[in-house]
Structure 1
């Protein structure tokens, strides 16, 4: 594989690794928000923002962590037949199926950019009583989709190299 592809794979792997390590701790933010909400429900009037803020934290958690999950094979796979294949056959099949993922993520990112630009242009807010602006979470979602898309391309390069008998890392 050319050096440019090797550098790309290393850069994207390193980026998603560190982003994943940071995002991993967002679960504690969500737990803290929900704990605060539970305490306030028993002591006083529950705040309007807690449920929706916990949902936003969860969206950021799984969207921005998508590249890390893809990089570390932490996604769901039906491996009834897959587990029996040789590493080269797995790499060949993975290099084909990752193309579908890249296509899907490309469409998702296109829609995300469209939705984010709408939210920024018109000041879109949620329909809840709290009514927060939607642009920040949509921007975070686009960043997560972009990181996952970049990781999917890196996975494609790794799978092609593995199918050829090389190893990229």
Structure 2
């Protein structure tokens, strides 16, 4: 309401139109999903770097970055769920099913779906760990190797997801002739 009362162009209408375009276009949802997912994965590289550096403000940055990673992973979880239900099952899956590349849907996409269920939970675990154990961090008694392992696992699985997503998208585009 406030934006529409400002003289000049209607910003509220522009924002609403932009959001409507994004959520009615499978291409924009896939792009947004990929960008959010890759940024979420990169937050765990940042956490690893902060753990290695161990500066005065590292714990505060780790807390904020791990919170951002969790938010991005869960946002991506819901966004990709929307895409999967609205677009993938109706249009993309049938385009792959009756081709010689059926294995992309039956193997790659299933692996991708199962990894995707696991990533936000790992992210949440790192977040809870960083918020609940600050005294370990300051006393240098924190068991860093398990935290490194979880963050590296998040990064590794995230990059696998990127590769598998590209494979699925390329297969869909090839079968639809786009």
Q: What TM-score comes out, normalization by structure 2 length?
A: 0.37
Q: Of Structure 1 and Structure 2, which has the larger fraction of its residues in helix? A: 2
Q: What TM-score comes out, normalization by structure 1 length?
A: 0.38
User: Using CA pairs below 8 Å that are at least 6 residues apart, which structure has the higher relative contact order?
Assistant: 1
